[in-house]
Amino acid sequence: MGVPLMNIQAQYAPLRAELDAAIGGVLDSGRFILGPNVSGLEDEVGARLGRPAVGVANGTDALVIGLQALGAGPGDEVITTAYTFYATAEAIARVGATPVFCEIDPVTYCLDPEAAAAAVTDKTVGLLPVHIFGHPADLPALRALADSKGLWMIEDAAQAFGATIGGQEIGTSGDLATISFFPTKNFPGIGDGGMVVCAHDDLAEKVRRLRFHGSKDKVVFEEVGYNSRLDDLQAAAIRVFFPHLDDWNAARRQAAAWYAESGLGEHMVLPGVGADCEHIYHLFMARHPERDAIRAALSEQQISAAVYYGIPMHLQPVFAHLGYSEGSLPVTEECAASGLALPMHPNLTREETETVTAAVATALA
Ligand SMILES: Cc1ncc(COP(=O)(O)O)c(C=O)c1O
């Protein structure tokens, strides 16, 4: 019996009747664009985080629109990490600004605040930390840095809804935070979807305008915006999932604990947890210099494992003009070369974690 990397169908199966009813409700209502489920979801997420939230078409647009709302553009530098999905850096470049890739913390894989501080120049306008793989970035240190230098901060929260640092939920420290409802995310939808969480109503108003062609009313157009709205069908499904998110995150944490108990740490470097942080293990990223051999051996036993961000952003061809080279970010490059995502999802069983650990041990014997 193999072990899949993720298992979306198992996660959704108990909710199938509720999903069918929610989708049927949208069909019956005929309100597909910015209907009651979008505003309902915005209210629910907003109430949880204590901030206004605006639904958009996907997590990439959330970043692009968020950056534009904060005024980022040509000539501006935005400090971020290279160990992330391309969308983070792409969004910065999309608005004409320059991503400045800084080193990560080797335990949490998130932006290192000291490296970020060292990278601030007179062109820096903001910080864009990523809560990568479900681990919160060091928000207290990064917020303090932003405040001391007069910068804004956007949290890329695509992979970590529900994670906490110092008891505070991620998504509540930045000027903005962006969410992705991509179906394999820990806070999923059943297609593309995203959200921008805003520190105050003025910013939320701007984001709302930008997602709708730069207009409040489709009559007067104030700026060049986007057609980037969260679908009501998506929002209806996400509202079915939202009440289960904390249980799903807890199940991921339990699976991570089972990996540790099964002795996986004797063979691979387990994902670390920073002080006072609650990880939600969107992905379970363990490390080993021979990760490709481990992956191949697991695959022979139908155990799925995957490499994420194996070419970090500073070494991607699209950013060659920025002048980074191999060795520019050694910690990032080491993680990118050794990281292997092992099966992780809310339905993973203790037996499956033991199966994976045994297979890793055999692969390295
Ligand atoms: C860290 C990160 N940022 C942004 C995105 C973009 O989200 P989306 O795929 O919804 O556009 C993703 C996910 O794909 C992501 O993992």
Q: Is 156 in the pocket of ligand 1 (CB under 6 A)?
A: yes
- Rounded Cα distance between 298 and 318, Å, is 32
> Which one of 224, 243, 262 terminates a domain?
243
Percentage of the chain exceeding pLDDT 90: 100
- Does residue 79 fall inside a structural domain? yes
Its domain, for residue 333, covers: 245-364
- Rounded Cα distance between 213 and 44, Å, is 25
Q: How confident is the model at residue 332 (pLDDT cuts 50, 70, 90)?
A: very high
Q: Is 161 in the pocket of ligand 1 (CB under 6 A)?
A: no
Looking at the structure, tell me whether residues 186 and 221 fall in a common domain: yes
Q: Please state, in angstroms and as integers, the Cα–Cα distance from residue 143 to each residue in 153, 213, 313, 341, following that order.
A: 7, 31, 23, 29
- Rounded Cα distance between 270 and 264, Å, is 7
CA 155–ligand 1 middle distance (angstroms): 12
Domains held by the chain: number = 2
User: Is residue 306 classed as helix, strand or coil in its secondary structure?
Assistant: strand
Give pLDDT, residue 175: 98
Looking at the structure, tell me whether residues 235 and 264 fall in a common domain: no
* Biggest CA pair distance of the chain: 68
Give pLDDT, residue 46: 98
Give pLDDT, residue 71: 98
Is pLDDT above 80 for 1? no
Burial class (CB in 10 A: 0-12, 13-18, 19+), 110: buried
- Does residue 3 fall inside a structural domain? no
Token duo for residue 220: 């007067």
> What ligand 1 atom has the least distance to the C-alpha of 194?
10
CA 87–ligand 1 middle distance (angstroms): 6
pLDDT tens column, 82-106: 999 999 999 999 999 999 999 999 9
Residue with tokens 């529900």: 162
pLDDT tens column, 287-331: 999 999 999 999 999 999 999 999 999 999 999 999 999 999 999
pLDDT tens column, 135-145: 999 999 999 99
> Which one of 243, 270, 295 terminates a domain?
243
Looking at the structure, tell me whether residues 221 and 320 fall in a common domain: no
CA 134–ligand 1 middle distance (angstroms): 12
Looking at the structure, tell me whether residues 359 and 288 fall in a common domain: yes
Q: Is 281 in the pocket of ligand 1 (CB under 6 A)?
A: no
Is pLDDT above 80 for 43? yes
